[in-house]
Chains A and B, each alone.
Chain A
């Protein structure tokens, strides 16, 4: 197959890190904090690389939108088996306002430019939990979508996608070109091994600007404040049942 696959990878704060809210409540502290690839994006890359290993697709392109550091995330994708990378350079105020709508416009433009047959994304990012980029990209391109995929079967011009939904599992057949978003059980991402890490250093990463793709990054949303969830109150221990009833009455519970 001569198909090209575009995989979006997002650089997010590593999930093992303790999140701190900035004192001015404008957002979360990101300076000096460990970042890594969004876990669902790892699953997306793994799926794309497996398709390539099965010789069902020809080329895997990893894309990331963000500042200079996003290139590290693309390198990780290359080390996992992607063929080349595209870094869409977005920084400063534009990066702060970058949301699913802007990213989906970028991905749609790139998909047309690179003549892509399949876009695989993670179902959501662990920093914003939006779960919108895949769906918006499909809508902008007017392509079918298979979201929350836990299994993807390639069938000539179409895909059989098994989706995880509230009621259980739903299997749909969608024609290509299409957008698929990866859910947790789609696969277990591989570790990037040393020989591949070394090879990845030689793979190409192109840098483009959103303006080159004709994309407008303006946002209709404004973040008013970001706050920590309220602290959990300490429990109270009582000695007797009478004490318990008295405490419940005092606090108006009974």
Chain B
């Protein structure tokens, strides 16, 4: 049996390192033969990063931590083939490759020698068919803005960039359905649909660089999820090229289609490991005519949660974003980016955005809510804006925190989702756990979605600090029945922690799907699924 084999393989690998035990979160297992028995036996043990090889992340080069799978190496013959297939877009210049090999956080670096930049789905189909036959590994790459090391090669995988596939294929101005190639930059798409009075259903800080194909393959969340839902609902169709080069055309623009299993859902969030997305059909909502932003101060977590509850009740359907940040974040913004705090110092700050079709109606609702919040002392101070320039300035306080953290030092990033009541508990518990060892411990995020971005910084990478943080944070999350990666995905850095949030049978099904769609494992290897799967 498959599970038995992988389980024995896993245990034999573990036996090589002494003191290696496995911890299982308190999930309920259904019986699947002897695998279940052994898991239960091990459930009370601890998992150590005993040996460097098992560490999920090292700054700069990663190749010391993992074994390269036995893929073929790229030869002159292969390069000739690609150069004929993609004139001038088969790049081997090491200077150009340098930036494609490193992620945005500059925390992981691959050593790919070949970058391919196709412009059509056919080209991608030829590329993958060839790579599948030759057993060459491929790392699909969009805007390279991912935060878990999933967008860059680990070893010498061929980088398959969608950057040149940036055409809009069609836009229906009545239904708002946009069909475009996977390499379109999110901000460009937003500008395009805005001309016709629509907006993209997602928005993230990386919008100037991230590409829609990458957004879909990582099931990106972002700032508008509260209002427009996740990509799983707004993506109506996909065109995907499978590992063997076959083009799977599921590019429909229909809102409703219940004909069989919804196969496209497999590719959304699969981080490029099941297929390469080449075109997306997405439903765009109408651009709101009236947008207001309020920036408020709260003195306790309880008040923060109460404000959220009150907000949902009084603002209801016009609420489009509810974000929070703590005073440590504000400190970083002031120190590193010289941004000013628009209101008086508070332990917590909230950013509320409303979007609607009638300015007067929205303003009245917002004013009533703010008046109520002030009178009942839920908030201590606040400001509001309806002009574009001021709205941008207030959003910067939330969107630029990631940038400010980069300036503060080496950042350990965690993105967890837990029931809303516990959202800040992780930050407080982490501060107790780390005492004074870390430079900054900050918490911010999409309070409306129960999603916390917990970030810790230190002047340089510190493995002692790292081992205090992990697996503490993952165990904490599992204890609260949360997700260890709410929206960032697993990529390279979190692939081996999947068991903290998913039961073994789910991982088993995932590995079967992977085997079915990519038997040679050439698509984005070393990512998303845990190492013991292979």
Query: Residues of A at under 8 Å CB distance from B?
Result: 14-17, 32, 34-36, 39, 188, 190-195, 197-198
Question: Could you show 11 A-B contacts with beta carbons less than 8 Å apart?
Answer: A14-B388, A36-B387, A36-B390, A191-B385, A193-B344, A193-B382, A194-B374, A194-B382, A194-B384, A197-B384, A198-B374
User: Once bound together, how far apart are the Cα atoms of A247 and B390, in whole Å?
Assistant: 47
Given contacts A16-B387, A193-B383, A194-B381, 17 further A-B contacts (CB under 8 A): A35-B387, A36-B387, A36-B389, A39-B389, A190-B342, A191-B343, A191-B385, A191-B390, A192-B383, A193-B342, A193-B343, A193-B381, A193-B382, A194-B382, A194-B384, A198-B371, A198-B374
Shortest CB-to-CB span from A204 to chain B, Å, is: 20
* Beta-carbon nearest neighbor of A15 in chain B: B389
Shortest CB-to-CB span from A198 to chain B, Å, is: 7
On chain B, the residues within 8 Å of A190 by CB distance are 342
The 8 closest A-B pairs by CB, nearest first: A36-B387, A191-B342, A16-B388, A16-B389, A191-B383, A194-B382, A14-B387, A14-B388
Shortest CB-to-CB span from B191 to chain A, Å, is: 9
| B370 is an interface residue with CB less than 8 A from chain A | yes
| B340 is an interface residue with CB less than 8 A from chain A | yes
B374–A188 CB distance below 8 A: no
Shortest CB-to-CB span from A237 to chain B, Å, is: 11
User: Once bound together, how far apart are the Cα atoms of A24 and B388, in whole Å?
Assistant: 26
* Beta-carbon nearest neighbor of B340 in chain A: A188
On chain B, the residues within 8 Å of A197 by CB distance are 383-384
Of the candidates B370, B384, B385, the one having the most CB atoms from chain A within 10 angstroms of its own CB is B384
On chain B, the residues within 8 Å of A16 by CB distance are 387-389, 391-392
Shortest CB-to-CB span from A191 to chain B, Å, is: 4
User: Once bound together, how far apart are the Cα atoms of A39 and B393, in whole Å?
Assistant: 13
Shortest CB-to-CB span from B55 to chain A, Å, is: 45
B389–A14 CB distance below 8 A: yes
B360-396 CB mask vs A (1 if < 8 Å, else 0) is 0000000000110010000101111111111110000
A194–B389 CB distance below 8 A: no
Considering only CB atoms and an 8 Å cut-off, how many residues of chain B contact the other chain? 23
A194–B383 CB distance below 8 A: yes
Of the candidates A36, A190, A194, the one having the most CB atoms from chain B within 10 angstroms of its own CB is A194
User: Once bound together, how far apart are the Cα atoms of A111 and B151, in whole Å?
Assistant: 64
A17–B388 CB distance below 8 A: yes
Chain B residues 282 to 340 lying within 8 A of chain A, measured CB to CB, are 289, 295-296, 340
Known: A16-B392, A193-B381. A34 touches B371 (CB 8 A): no
On chain B, the residues within 8 Å of A32 by CB distance are 289
Known: A16-B392, A188-B340. A34 touches B374 (CB 8 A): no
Known: A193-B381, A193-B382. A34 touches B343 (CB 8 A): no
User: Once bound together, how far apart are the Cα atoms of A16 and B293, in whole Å?
Assistant: 15
A194–B370 CB distance below 8 A: yes
* Beta-carbon nearest neighbor of B342 in chain A: A191
* Beta-carbon nearest neighbor of B343 in chain A: A193
* Beta-carbon nearest neighbor of B389 in chain A: A16
On chain A, the residues within 8 Å of B382 by CB distance are 193-194
Report which of B289, B296, B374, B386 forms a contact with A195, defined as CB distance below 8 A.
Answer: B374
Of the candidates A39, A193, A198, the one having the most CB atoms from chain B within 10 angstroms of its own CB is A193
* Beta-carbon nearest neighbor of A196 in chain B: B383
Shortest CB-to-CB span from B361 to chain A, Å, is: 16
B385-425 CB mask vs A (1 if < 8 Å, else 0) is 11111111000000000000000000000000000000000
Shortest CB-to-CB span from B359 to chain A, Å, is: 10
User: Once bound together, how far apart are the Cα atoms of A193 and B295, in whole Å?
Assistant: 9
User: Once bound together, how far apart are the Cα atoms of A15 and B386, in whole Å?
Assistant: 13
User: Once bound together, how far apart are the Cα atoms of A17 and B291, in whole Å?
Assistant: 13
User: Once bound together, how far apart are the Cα atoms of A197 and B373, in whole Å?
Assistant: 14
* Beta-carbon nearest neighbor of A72 in chain B: B386
* Beta-carbon nearest neighbor of B393 in chain A: A191
User: Once bound together, how far apart are the Cα atoms of A36 and B388, in whole Å?
Assistant: 9
* Beta-carbon nearest neighbor of B289 in chain A: A32
User: Once bound together, how far apart are the Cα atoms of A36 and B390, in whole Å?
Assistant: 9
Shortest CB-to-CB span from B376 to chain A, Å, is: 13
Shortest CB-to-CB span from A95 to chain B, Å, is: 20
Of the candidates A34, A188, A190, the one having the most CB atoms from chain B within 10 angstroms of its own CB is A34
B381–A195 CB distance below 8 A: yes
On chain B, the residues within 8 Å of A36 by CB distance are 387-390
Of the candidates A35, A188, A191, A198, the one having the most CB atoms from chain B within 10 angstroms of its own CB is A191
B336-359 CB mask vs A (1 if < 8 Å, else 0) is 000010111000000000000000
* Beta-carbon nearest neighbor of B295 in chain A: A191
Shortest CB-to-CB span from B314 to chain A, Å, is: 15
Shortest CB-to-CB span from B271 to chain A, Å, is: 35
On chain B, the residues within 8 Å of A191 by CB distance are 295, 342-343, 383, 385, 390
Shortest CB-to-CB span from A181 to chain B, Å, is: 21
User: Once bound together, how far apart are the Cα atoms of A179 and B343, in whole Å?
Assistant: 31
Shortest CB-to-CB span from A80 to chain B, Å, is: 11
On chain B, the residues within 8 Å of A17 by CB distance are 388
User: Once bound together, how far apart are the Cα atoms of A191 and B384, in whole Å?
Assistant: 8
Shortest CB-to-CB span from A145 to chain B, Å, is: 28
User: Once bound together, how far apart are the Cα atoms of A36 and B391, in whole Å?
Assistant: 12
Shortest CB-to-CB span from B8 to chain A, Å, is: 58
User: Once bound together, how far apart are the Cα atoms of A215 and B296, in whole Å?
Assistant: 44
On chain A, the residues within 8 Å of B379 by CB distance are 194
B381–A34 CB distance below 8 A: no
User: Once bound together, how far apart are the Cα atoms of A15 and B391, in whole Å?
Assistant: 12
Shortest CB-to-CB span from A148 to chain B, Å, is: 22
Chain B residues 177 to 232 lying within 8 A of chain A, measured CB to CB, are none
* Beta-carbon nearest neighbor of B392 in chain A: A16
User: Once bound together, how far apart are the Cα atoms of A195 and B382, in whole Å?
Assistant: 8
On chain A, the residues within 8 Å of B392 by CB distance are 16
User: Once bound together, how far apart are the Cα atoms of A36 and B384, in whole Å?
Assistant: 13
On chain B, the residues within 8 Å of A192 by CB distance are 383
On chain B, the residues within 8 Å of A193 by CB distance are 342-344, 381-383
Of the candidates B340, B379, B381, B388, the one having the most CB atoms from chain A within 10 angstroms of its own CB is B388
User: Once bound together, how far apart are the Cα atoms of A34 and B388, in whole Å?
Assistant: 7
Shortest CB-to-CB span from B529 to chain A, Å, is: 43
On chain A, the residues within 8 Å of B390 by CB distance are 36, 191
User: Once bound together, how far apart are the Cα atoms of A184 and B386, in whole Å?
Assistant: 22
A34–B387 CB distance below 8 A: yes
On chain A, the residues within 8 Å of B387 by CB distance are 14, 16, 34-36
